[in-house]
Structures are given as C-alpha cells and as structure tokens.
Structure 1
Amino acid sequence: MTRIIEHWINGKLYQGAGSEAGVVTDPATGLVIARANFASADDVDVAVAAAAAAFPSWAATSLARRSNIMFRFRELLNARSDELASIITAEHGKVLSDAAGEVARGQEVVEFACGVPHLIKGAYTSSASTQVDVHSIREPLGPVAVIGPFNFPAMVPMWFFPIAIATGNTVILKQSEKVPSAAMWLAELWQEAGLPDGVFNVVHGGKETVDALLTHPDVQAVSFVGSTPVAKHVYTTATASGKRVQALGGAKNHMVVLPDADLDLAADQAVNAGYGSAGQRCMAISVCVAVGDCADTLVDKIRERTLTLRTGNGRRGCDMGPLVTAASRDRVRSYIDAGVTEGATLVVDGRNVTPDADGEGFFVGPTLFDHVTADMSIYRDEIFGPVLCVVRVSTHDEALALVNNSPYGNGTAIFTNDGREARRFESQVQVGMVGINIPVPVPMAYYSFGGWKNSLFGDTHAHGTDGLHFFTRAKVVTSRWPDQGHSGIDLVFPRNA
C-alpha cells in the first residue's frame, strides 16, 4: 500500500480536506513511494490559524528559552543527520554524501540562530538629549510562510525557519510536493526539541496551496526559493497583499578561467560544480568561460574528468544521481538535442548513459559542450541539469561583459593566479555572490545568500544579518523621566539639547 504523507499542523498530523494528492517517486528507480495530500485553501486557513494562535505566547517567550530549544534542535539534528540525508536521497536522488553536505550547510544556519540573544539585542543611548534616553528593539512579525524548492529539501527551508523561529515568529512551511518527507521529519524533530505546538507547521500542495499562503491576511511575510517565473509570481502576488517578500529566483552561473590559472584545479572544480547533484543547484556552474589560449587544454582536462564519473543510484556510492522526475530528465535531454542542432560541439553526450541502478530511473549523464555561443538556448536558459557549456573568449573584458550581460546575477567565479585580475573581476562583475578560485561561493550562515537582477525579487537576502532584519521589525523608544512637574506648553518641533 502506498504511503500517504499528511500535513503537520499544531503539533500533530492533519489529513486535510483537499481532494488532490501529489505523487512522490524514487528518482533512481522510477517507482512511486508515496502520495502527499495537497492542502486546500481551507487547510491553509487551519495551518495559519494554528500559527497565529501560537504566536503571542511564543513571541513573549524569553530569549533564553528560545535559544535553549534551538540548541536542543541542533543537537538532535547532529545526532540524526544520517536519517535526514537518507530521506533526501530517496526522494530527490542526489548521492548520500551530497545529501549529508546539504544537511550540514542547513545546520550552519541553525547554529547561527542559536545565538539569537546576541543577534537581536538592541542599542541604548543614555542622555541623548537632556534627561532623554533612546533605545531600539527588534520584534517578530507574526506567522510567516516559507516556500521551498525540490532541489534542497532540508537546506533551503533551514535558511529561513531557524531564524524566523528564534526571533519569535511562527512558521508555515510549504516544501516542494516532489520531496515532502524531509519537512515532516523536521517537524517531528522540532517537537522532540520542545518547540510549542503551532510554532512550526507543514502543508503540502501545488499552486493553489501556494497562492492561499501568498494572499492569506494573517501571513506577514513570505520566503521563497525557486525558478525565476515563479519567484516573480510570488513577489508580485504577496507584495500586492501587503506582505514582506524575499523571493530567490533562477540562475545561469559563469566560471571564468584566465590563461594563468591552475588548469587542473579549474577542471576539477568545473566538473564538481557543473555535475554535482546532477546540476540541480541554483549555484551550479553551467557555463565555463575559457579566456585566451587555455581553452583547448581546459576542455581536454574537463572531458577526461567527466568520462570518469559514475552515474547511478545515490545509495551505491556513485558520483552523480538521477534527475528528480521523468519530466526533468526529458527536459534536459531536449536541451542537449537543441545544443547539437544549434551547432555546439558535443564533447561528452549524457543522453544514453548506462546508470548503476535498477528500474527505470530518471538519468542523464554528465554532458559537456564546447564552442557554445550566447545566442544558443543551452547558453541562455537555465537547464537545471548536468550540462556544462564552454564558451571561448579572447580577453578578460569579453568574459566580464558576457557575465554582466546575463539577465541573472546569482553566482559567478573566476580562476586565476593574478590578484590584480581577480580584484578587478570582483569589483566590476554584476553578480551577488562571487568566488575567487572557488566555483560555488555559497556564503557562511553569518553572511547572507542572494543574487542580483532576475535572481532575486525583493531587497532582502537569506540568512545572516539580512535574514534577521527580514523576520523582525525595528522599534525605537525615546523616553524621559523628569525630576519634577511638566515643562509647560511649547509648540516648537523637538530639538536635541
């Protein structure tokens, strides 16, 4: 009998009244392993009502108590992280080591949020004016929604909900319907850590569920990560409903390799960043820009490494797993077909890979194109698969212009041994996250994650200081305690004195 995944509302399983359900597959075998109930608008009402009811007491809970619960959650997650990694591999398909890395990067934000007493402490100024003191406070918003993508079932939600919860908000998480089980596992872990009922809730669903959260009058803010078209929809819809929104969209990340670079290092990192998680990362390197006369050697080195990769079931110690769904597999194959038709040189063809797996999994092998140009669809579009394109240019200036002309601005990297050229690239590139000899420049939790241009809608990035500000609002209190009497009538605008 197929397992049914229900919602988690107010500290317990909730079946819901929705009539739809989503199919959850094991991408390595193609087998259906579960069905997730989709939340109707009425179910969303129930979840938001639970979060709203829990908010006043949670917001009033001391910072010491909140941080104690965060620390317990951290310890439980550390002890049982292998369980979560296995759940991710079963539903997403990424190899176990990659899933474990995902959990570890999410845990960084949990650890950051454990420091909430220090992170949101205000400022105080005594005698700012005569007998006048001023202090600042950061207060929680209320119920907030987190809408996560399929490619990081644990890490991306953990970019948001630890900070939201630590600062006194309550959360409704809507994780991708393709990978719903990690969210349920995290909900049970929160309960074990002692989080009060209603503070963390989970609903599953598609567009109807998302739109119900975006327009619900009691949801105060929305955090989203996904494709650019959906990010635009989330931002437009939720802001029209008066909500704060941080919506992180798609990407087309370039890795620039200068002639003086260590080409063995560059080739290693191009393969790691291009094919890790089968290319299903918003920070994946999908374009390698070879500058000058290093191109032939670089392509040869990337090809050699690509041909050594073993594709298959992520539980079998393979290098790369499957795509998340059959539709994703077919979409990636269609882009490879288009690249050939448009005239790119297909160096390594992943369409007919023989995977180390049983059943009919959703596999495309690592694919390498050379002589790609900016007018080709494999260059323009976010493929979200294991397809690495090499573009050849003559100069650093041409490479920089190529990156800056992209409509996306999520991540980029440069490989060079010339500090002056690296510094120029860092200064002039129009991208939110930059790596120097590092291909996937995902910042540590105490910095903030986010891109520019069509990779971000809204002004606030994820986690770090930006995350703290997003999930709180500032209040400034000016006070006077006069020694005696009142100062009399004075209609002049107050001045410092």
Structure 2
Amino acid sequence: MSIAELVSTDPCTGEAIWTGPVGGVAAAVARARAAASGWARRPLAERIAIVRAFKAAVEADADAFAQMIARETGKPLWETRTEVASVAAKVEISITAQTERAGEKAAEAAGVRQMLRHKPHGVLAVLGPYNFPAHLPNGHIVPALMAGNVIVFKPSEQTPAVADFMAGLWTKAGLPEGVLNLVHGGGDVGRELAGAAIDGLLFTGSAHVGAALARQFADTPHRILALEMGGNNPLVAWDLTDIEAAAATVVQSAFLSAGQRCTNARRLIVGPGSDALVEAVLALADRLIVGAPFDEPQPFMGPVISNAAADGLERGWAQLQAAGGRVMRPLVRARADRPLLSPAIIDMTGHAPPDDELFGPVLQIVRVPDWDAAIAAANATRFGLAAGLIGGDAARFDDFWARSRAGIVNWNRPTNGASSAAPFGGIGASGNHRPSAYYAADYCAFPVATLAADALGGGISTGLRP
C-alpha cells in the first residue's frame, strides 16, 4: 500500500531536502488523456518551440539545477553540471532525430501519392532512474512530447526533488497543463501506472524491474514498451602499449559516478603479461578522492544513492569473496551510517560469481590464457549493454566487434559516456531492442503509410462477365 508522504534525503548528510505526496496515478492519467488530442494536433513547429523554450529555461537555471541534482544524488558538482548540459543538448539532437527518423516522406507515381507520416501513441508513462535523474528521463520526455505524446512521469523515489525541479522548468517553458504529469512513489506506484489506461511505457532501470514490466505488458501487445536495463559489462585489455592511459580508461570505466552508470565496466578481462596494467589500475584507484558533492578539491566520485544501496553492495562484495575471489582493494565504507564507498577491486579468475549487475564501485578482474578465452569471458553474461577493448590494432577490434554481444562496443575509449547523438541500448537482459538516445524517435511514434489520389479512378478490368 502506498505511503501517504515521500521524503527525500541528502545521501551525504541524511538531511531531508524534499517532502511530497505519493500516488495519484488515476488522476494523472485522466489529466493526460484529456490533454492528449489537443497536444497531438498542435503543429510540430509549435511543439518544437515549447521544447526549445524548455532548453532555454534549463540553461537559465543551470546552476540551481546542478546543485539540486548534487544534493539529492551525492554526485560531485562537476558531474551534475555535465548532466544539466546534457539535458539542454538533448533538445536539438531530438529535433534532428525527429526529422530524420520520424519525419514525413512523399512520392508520386501514376497520379497516386505515396506518403509516410508518423502519429504519437497517446499517453506514455516514463519511469526514471536515480543515477541520472534528469538526463535519462529527459531522454524519453523530450522526443515523446515532440512527437505529440502526453506524459505521466514517475521518477525514482530516491530523486523526487530533481523531477519536481525539472517539471517546473517545463511549466516555465509554457507547456500546456496536463501534457506532463508527475506522480511520486515507489514500486507499487510504478506497477499501478504500468497497469493504468496508458498507451505505452518508457523505462530505464534494473533488469529485475524491466522483466516485471515485460510480464505485466504480456497481455497488452498493442502498448509500446521500451526497456533499458543495465549490464554486467566487460572491458578487455590486450596488447597494450601505453599502460598509464589504459589504467586511466579502466578506472573511468569502472568507477565514474561511483559505479552507478549502466555502462560502467564491471569486469576487466586481461591476458598473459597483464601485471603492469593491474598494478597501475590499483595505484590509480588508491588516488581517487571520494567525498561530498561540494567538497574542495572536487571528488572524483561521491556516495552511492542510499544506505540501502550501500548495504546491498556490501552483501554483493561478500558473495564475491565467498565465491573464491581474491581481494586486491577492499570495499571500505567510511561511515556505517552513510553510503560513501571506496573503489573496490577483486580478482575472480577461475571462479564463477553470480551474473549480476553490482551497481556501485566494484571491479572484478578475470585473467584468461588467450584471445578466444577473452571473447568467451566477455560474452559470459546474460546482459549485453556495453563492451570495450583497449589496446590491439584495427584488425583485433574488428574481430572483437564482430564477436562481442552488446549494443555499445567501444575501442580505446571508456565503456561509459555514450553520445546522445547515437542509439543507446543493449540486448539480452539489457533491453528489448528499442534503443533510446538518438533512436528514441522510433518508439515515440508509429509510422502510417498512405496511398492517396485526388479522385476515384480506374475500375476492375479483368475477371468480369460481359
């Protein structure tokens, strides 16, 4: 049963920073349904103008926006500023994607016009995550609104204040009442929204919740469901020539955002002669500053989102040790009552840990004897979001690209930090083949093919009796 009130706290201090009501799904869906027809029939140029006004509002309040994200997530201020910049940048990227992937096309032959146009689905639910509480739901909301849909948005219960701030910017931009509707709450509210009279749902979050949504949608195939669900991502290091640069790429891949990116590298796969790289990674991890978002100097990473998340990571860390892992850098919690965790590294060579996404600063090292074993180890997961190769030559990367199972495959770049100007998504337990980012336009509208002529013409010319 839903609680009557939701309280959001600063993970670094425990201070309450937001309090608000929970639930109200039925009323929010009704408001959205009432606004749907009017919004869909607005000319695209008018919808684009409002979306651009939202971008201007984001840029005008960028500092306050970044501070709110930092307070509620604990992420360093330098990182939340980049998130706000991504929210603004999403607008022009989405306008281009809308034109290229969901625009209009026409041709004429023998007096018959062939047309391709797109229609919005109607009322779409958006379920947002806590790790990028503005950027990731915004990646659904902007293209969905531009396509003519109306939205019911339930953010993570960990980050309601950021969602409220962002909704206020849409109001400043002149978005009509009922077009974007906000509801708060936990998993029970999410399930209620998924089962409401909506036309589709756009989700970013865990594989566990995504699978539950897929089951809930099984009897309604007419409703669109787009899932992005994280990964147990491999990073393979092979034939390295620059150990320090490789170590920096490994550390960024594994520990950026305190390991709370779905594209973070969870497993470093190395071949013979890799001791120098491992030692360099250990040394660099020791130098990372972990702290609060407004500390000076700025930390590399802040806390994980909550004490409950930290507790879960500590249990996952204990499971890795129980499975036979050799601790190289322990997972240290600076204070028992706060979720500040050190970067942790464990050698799991020769052992079979659970194929789970440990959503935090934990890196597993797996040593393999040869290249084929490296590919097999990289693919030894039910997930398939991101994979990376550092080192090697173009031929090696071509082979890695061809044989790896992931929707994002990088070479000599971190596994995280994907571009919004490219599709974003994975296979297996990482998604349902509906990539977001640049391809969000694909699931925000459906194509309508038309044959049209100005007048009836012709007739049946064969198969008739005289």
Task: Confirm whether residue 83 of structure 1 aligns to residue 64 of structure 2.
Answer: yes
1:27 to 2, 7, 11: 11
1:85·1:96 contact (CA, 8 Å) conserved in 2?
Answer: yes
Q: CA deviation at 1:117?
A: 6.7
Q: Percent identity?
A: 27
User: 2:104 matched to which residue of 1?
Assistant: 122
Cα deviation for residue 143 of structure 1 reads 0.9
Give the CA deviation at 1:270.
1.2
Show the 5 A alignment for 1:191-210.
Answer: 191-210=171-190
Equivalent residue for 2:143?
A: 163
CA contact (8 A) 2:427 2:433 kept: no
CA shift, 1:250, in A, is: 2.8
> For residue 459 of structure 1, what is the aligned residue in structure 2?
433
The residue number in structure 1 matching 2:380 is 405
Which residue identity does 2:305 align to in structure 1? Answer: V
1:154 aligns with 2:134: yes
Task: Kindly state the Cα deviation for residue 118 of structure 1 after the two structures are TM-superposed.
Answer: 2.9
Q: Distance between the aligned counterparts of 2:287 and 2:124, measured in 1?
A: 45
- Which stretch shows the higher mean deviation, 255-264 or 177-186? 255-264
Shift of 1:319: 1.8
Q: Quick one: structure 1 residues 58 and 420, their matched pair in 2 at CA, closer, same or farther if it must change by over 3 Å? A: same
Letter of the structure 1 residue corresponding to residue 55 of structure 2: R
Q: Please tell me whether the aligned partners of residues 2 and 185 of structure 2 are also in contact (alpha carbons under 8 angstroms).
A: no
Report the Cα distance in structure 2 between the residues aligned to 1:197 and 1:323, rounded to whole angstroms.
35
Q: Distance in 1 between the 2:374 and 2:217 partners?
A: 37
CA distance in 2, matches of 1:305, 1:30: 30
1:359-398 alignment, distance < 5 Å: 360-377=337-354, 380-398=355-373
| Partners of 2:426 and 2:258 in 1: CA distance | 22
Q: Is the 8 A contact 1:258 1:292 kept in 2?
A: no
**Does structure 2 conserve the Cα–Cα contact (< 8 Å) formed by 1:435 and 1:441?**
no
CA RMSD of aligned residues (A): 2.1
User: Which residue number in structure 2 is paired with residue 431 of structure 1?
Assistant: 406
How many Å apart are 1:131 and its aligned residue?
A: 2.0
Is 1:478 aligned to residue 458 of structure 2? no
Aligned 8 A contact 2:239 2:392 in 1? no
**1:341 positional shift:** 3.4
Alpha-carbon distance in 2 for matches of 1:34, 1:291: 49
Corresponding residue of 1:345: 326
1:338 and 1:479 map into 2 onto residues whose CA distance is 64
**CA drift at 1:408:** 0.6
Partners of 2:3 and 2:319 lie apart in 1 by: 39
Is the 2:323–2:352 contact (alpha carbons within 8 Å) kept by the matching residues of 1?
no
Provide Cα deviations, 1:389-422, integer angstroms capped at 9, x if missing partner.
1111121211111121211101010001411101
CA distance in 1, matches of 2:156, 2:203: 11
| 2:415 counterpart SS class | coil
Mapped partners of 2:381, 2:97: distance in 1:
38
Deviation per CA, 1:232-276, whole angstroms, max 9, x where unpaired? 111221342341101111310111000334221111111112111
Q: How does 1:121-270 map to 2 (within 5 A)?
A: 121-127=103-109, 130-217=110-197, 219-241=198-220, 242-270=222-250
* Cα distance between partner residues in 1 of 2:114 and 2:316: 59
Please tell me the residue identity of whatever aligns with 1:304. A
8 Å CA contact retained: 1:124, 1:135: yes
How far did residue 19 of structure 1 move?
Answer: 4.6
| Cα distance per residue 1:350-375 (max 9 Å; x no partner) | 32447xxxx94211111111244441
Specify the alignment match of 2:458 in structure 1: 487
2:294 is the alignment partner of 1:315: yes
TM-score, normalised on structure 2?
0.93
* Contiguous gaps of at least 5 residues in structure 2: none
Distance 1:260 1:459, change over 3 A: closer
Q: Secondary structure at the match of 2:107?
A: strand
TM-superposed CA distance for 1:78, in Å, is 2.0
Indicate the SS of the match to 1:343.
Answer: coil
Q: For 1:374 and 1:491, how far apart are their aligned partners in 2? A: 73
How much has 1:212 moved relative to structure 2?
1.8
Moved more, 159-168 or 264-273: 264-273
Greater mean alpha carbon deviation, residues 142-151 or residues 333-342 = 333-342
The reply to whether residue 447 of structure 1 matches residue 422 of structure 2 is: yes
The residue type equivalent to 1:208 in the other structure is D
For the Cα contact (< 8 Å) 1:63–1:117, is it kept in 2?
A: no
Once the two structures are superposed, what CA deviation does each residue of 1:194-247 show, in whole Å capped at 9, x if it has no partner? 111111111001222112221112x11100111111101112213423411011
Q: Distance in 1 between matches of 2:356 and 2:314?
A: 14
User: TM-score, normalized by length of structure 1?
Assistant: 0.88
- Choose 245-254 or 335-344, whichever is displaced more: 335-344
* Alignment partner, residue 113 of structure 1: 94
Whole-Å separation in 2 of the counterparts to 1:383 and 1:101: 24
* Offset from partner CA, 1:154-194 (integer Å, 9 cap, x none): 11101100000011111111000111111111111111111
**Is the aligned partner of 1:332 residue 2:313?**
yes
Alpha-carbon distance between aligned partners in 1 of 2:77 and 2:428, rounded to the nearest angstrom: 33
Aligned length: 460
What displacement does 1:89 show?
A: 1.3
2:423 is paired with a residue whose SS is coil
Q: 1:309 to 1:459 in 2, by over 3 A?
A: closer
